[in-house]
């Protein structure tokens, strides 16, 4: 009986899983395996929020595989030894997996491939996590894209295949390695977010989240996606990060949402959602072509940026006690749920890198630990974009004003009140700038500045001028 091993990683799903599909087409028996080897991920091993998510996601995929007759085996790493041992034991002639793009993980995969092939075991690697492979597109001059819109247009022209169906039955090989029981894997760290309250990890949770988005939210996506006080985005990011749903499935679903007023066309809201999926593609394109960027700026002029070191400000930012309500709400939302609204991610990152001049790499590390959707490509791209050191980055003079942004995107202060309960009784007109509220307003709301809620860690107007000077000098040096 021809047998294949499917090495599952950040593709914890049955539907539209090219590696699983391909193995099942070519082989009668299939053994899906996960290799437990956190040390092989190097400096970017999963953070604590992601570890907590993965424990649940693994349990979910193991159950789904069991329900169709298969068995997910968890092997102990290093990956090459584990996979060779497994393939020899069960008589598999091929190991199949979906490609990874993170530089360290891609290097691990290359090494594992070589080792398996030297042991006489065939390897098949398939694209499975993106709409467009990062090396499939280049500019007319043959270089990688650094600007989103031309990348997006080129990617749309390339198109993509339709999603593959889920297998209905998996035939397991007669023998399987004993593996590690799921219960023996390190369980959730104590200070991880309260995942079970806010999320349902796993493919079914991903499908339910997508279903809810496409039936209830997408129609207003373009308007409400910028509003942290509404449920206006899909919240699919952790499901995408763990590969519990594929971007092809989401893109195909979005393409089906057609509006007809005179002429029929894909709805503008669905197009806006698809465009966001292509920001993810762009981030992977950049990470693949510029693998140093998780640690170093893409724009080398930023190598000499005079970042500050201020542990007290860093602690205030991390804990959500900066005195800027919308920033504190975002940081606390992340600590509690493992997720933060995109608009607020931009605001907290701008406060860190521009007002406080603290290194974006410290911010990206903290996000990496605390986000359930921590994704090396998106996180690196987001941080470098806000810091101004990345591709298609925010211009150096864009320094978000946390008061104006709060008033614009959280006009009633509902988002702040949810995550910063000390300010619950503040009227909307003062909630984004409690430090300038009249004393009577503060007293009536039970707020004592510096006691129940902090004063701002920095004066935004002065910090803005300081940042403009520093950023301006980097821009001048780059010319
Ligand atoms: C400083 C900073 C750090 C970030 N870190 C991460 C991260 O670690 N992981 C992560 O998935 N996203 C990250 N983002 C991007 C973005 O904030 C999240 O993808 C988004 O908030 C997820 O919520 P959603 O699924 O409801 O998004 P939706 O608006 O529903 O978008 C759908 C999907 O499109 C993709 N997407 C949306 N916006 C972006 C974007 N700006 N860049 C890249 N992809 C995008 C995501 O995969 C998202 O799930 C970061 C952004 C910033 C500014």
- CATH code of 55's domain: 3.40.50.620
Measured in Å, residue 123 CA sits from the centre of ligand 1 at 32
Evaluate whether 229 touches 432 at the Cβ level (below 8 Å): no
On whether both 100 and 61 belong to a single domain, the answer is yes
On whether both 325 and 306 belong to a single domain, the answer is yes
pLDDT at 122: 98
| Nearest alpha-carbon partner for 95 in 71, 78, 119, 77 | 119
Domain that holds residue 233: 130-162+202-289
Determine if ligand 1 sits within 6 Å of the CB of residue 327: no
* pLDDT (tens place) for every residue of the chain, 479 residues total: 999 999 999 999 999 999 999 999 999 999 999 999 989 999 999 999 999 999 999 999 999 999 999 999 999 999 999 999 999 999 999 999 999 999 999 999 999 999 999 999 999 999 999 999 999 999 999 999 999 999 999 999 998 889 999 999 999 999 999 999 998 888 778 888 999 999 999 999 999 999 999 999 999 999 999 999 999 999 999 999 999 999 999 999 999 988 888 888 889 999 999 999 999 999 999 999 999 999 999 998 899 999 999 999 999 999 999 999 999 999 999 999 999 999 999 999 999 999 999 999 999 999 999 999 999 999 999 999 999 999 887 788 889 999 999 999 999 999 999 999 999 999 999 999 999 999 999 999 999 999 999 999 999 999 999 999 999 888 877 77
On whether both 155 and 83 belong to a single domain, the answer is no
Determine if ligand 1 sits within 6 Å of the CB of residue 383: yes
- Using the 3D structure, point to which of 270, 289, 308 is the last residue of a domain: 289
User: Which of 53, 231, 237, when mutated, tests ligand 1's pocket best, judged by the most ligand atoms within 8 Å of its CB?
Assistant: 237
Q: What is the CATH number of the domain that holds 227?
A: 1.25.40.80
Q: Which residues have C-beta within 8 Å of that of residue 479, sequence separation ≥ 6?
A: none
On whether both 216 and 346 belong to a single domain, the answer is no
On whether both 216 and 347 belong to a single domain, the answer is no
The number of beta carbons lying within 10 Å of the beta carbon of residue 156 is: 14
Q: Distance (Å, rounded) from C-alpha 3 to C-alpha 201?
A: 30
Determine if ligand 1 sits within 6 Å of the CB of residue 365: no
Measured in Å, residue 290 CA sits from the centre of ligand 1 at 20
Closest ligand 1 atom number to CA of residue 340: 21
Give the dihedral of Cα atoms 129, 132, 133, 135; nearest 10 deg: -150
On whether both 246 and 142 belong to a single domain, the answer is yes
On whether both 274 and 222 belong to a single domain, the answer is yes
On whether both 317 and 455 belong to a single domain, the answer is yes
The pairing of beta strand 73-76 with beta strand 29-36: parallel
Q: Distance (Å, rounded) from C-alpha 5 to C-alpha 359?
A: 43
- Using the 3D structure, point to which of 228, 254, 289 is the last residue of a domain: 289
On whether both 282 and 143 belong to a single domain, the answer is yes
On whether both 55 and 150 belong to a single domain, the answer is no
On whether both 385 and 452 belong to a single domain, the answer is yes
- Using the 3D structure, point to which of 243, 262, 289 is the last residue of a domain: 289
Determine if ligand 1 sits within 6 Å of the CB of residue 346: yes
Residue 217 forms part of a structural domain? yes
Residue 223 forms part of a structural domain? yes
Residue 190 forms part of a structural domain? no
Determine if ligand 1 sits within 6 Å of the CB of residue 344: no
Residue 196 forms part of a structural domain? no
pLDDT at 125: 98
Residue 173 forms part of a structural domain? no
Q: Which residues have C-beta within 8 Å of that of residue 209, sequence separation ≥ 6?
A: 200, 234, 235, 236, 239, 245
On whether both 88 and 38 belong to a single domain, the answer is yes
pLDDT at 429: 98
Measured in Å, residue 339 CA sits from the centre of ligand 1 at 10
Q: Distance (Å, rounded) from C-alpha 2 to C-alpha 93?
A: 7
Q: Distance (Å, rounded) from C-alpha 290 to C-alpha 294?
A: 9
């Amino acid at each position: 009986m021809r047998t294949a091993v499917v090495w599952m990683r950040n593709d914890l799903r049955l539907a539209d899983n090219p590696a699983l599909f391909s193995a099942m087409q070519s082989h009668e028996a299939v053994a899906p395996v996960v290799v437990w080897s956190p040390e092989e991920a190097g400096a970017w091993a999963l953070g604590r929020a992601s570890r907590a998510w993965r424990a649940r996601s693994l349990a979910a995929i193991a159950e789904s595989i069991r329900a169709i007759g298969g068995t997910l085996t968890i092997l102990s790493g290093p990956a090459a030894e584990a996979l060779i041992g497994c393939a020899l034991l069960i008589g598999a002639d091929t190991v199949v997996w979906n490609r990874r793009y993170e530089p360290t993980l891609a290097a691990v995969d290359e090494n594992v491939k070589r080792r398996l092939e030297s042991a006489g075991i065939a390897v098949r690697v398939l694209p499975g996590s993106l709409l467009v492979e990062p090396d499939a597109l280049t500019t007319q001059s043959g270089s990688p894209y650094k600007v989103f819109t031309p990348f997006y247009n080129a990617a749309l022209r390339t198109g993509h295949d339709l999603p593959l169906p889920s297998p209905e039955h998996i035939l397991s090989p007669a023998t399987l390695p004993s593996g590690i029981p799921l219960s023996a894997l390190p369980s959730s760290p104590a200070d991880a977010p309260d995942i079970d309250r806010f999320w349902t990890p796993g493919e079914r949770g991903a499908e339910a989240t997508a279903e809810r988005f496409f039936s209830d939210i997408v129609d207003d996506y373009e308007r409400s996606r910028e509003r942290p006080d509404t449920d206006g985005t899909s919240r699919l990011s952790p499901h995408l990060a763990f590969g519990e749903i594929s971007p092809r499935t989401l893109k195909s679903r979005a393409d089906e949402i057609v509006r007809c007023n005179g002429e029929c066309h894909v709805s503008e809201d669905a197009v806006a959602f698809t465009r966001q999926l292509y920001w993810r593609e762009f981030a992977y394109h950049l990470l693949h072509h510029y693998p140093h960027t998780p640690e170093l700026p893409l724009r080398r002029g930023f190598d000499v940026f005079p970042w500050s070191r201020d542990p007290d400000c860093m602690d205030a930012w991390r804990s959500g006690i900066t005195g800027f309500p919308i920033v504190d709400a975002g940081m606390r939302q992340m600590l509690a749920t493992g997720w933060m609204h995109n608009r607020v991610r931009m605001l907290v990152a701008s406060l860190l890198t521009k007002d406080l001049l603290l290194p974006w790499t410290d911010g990206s590390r903290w996000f990496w630990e605390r986000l359930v959707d921590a994704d090396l490509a998106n996180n690196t791209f987001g941080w470098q974009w806000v810091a101004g050191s990345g591709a298609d980055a925010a211009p150096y003079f864009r320094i978000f004003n946390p008061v104006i942004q709060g008033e614009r995107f959280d006009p009633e202060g509902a988002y702040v009140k949810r995550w910063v309960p000390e300010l619950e009784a503040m009227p909307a007109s003062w909630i984004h700038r409690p430090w300038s509220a009249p004393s009577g307003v503060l007293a009536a709301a039970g707020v004592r500045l510096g006691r129940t809620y902090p004063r701002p860690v920095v004066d935004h107007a002065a910090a803005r001028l300081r940042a403009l000077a520093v950023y301006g000098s980097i821009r001048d040096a780059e010319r």
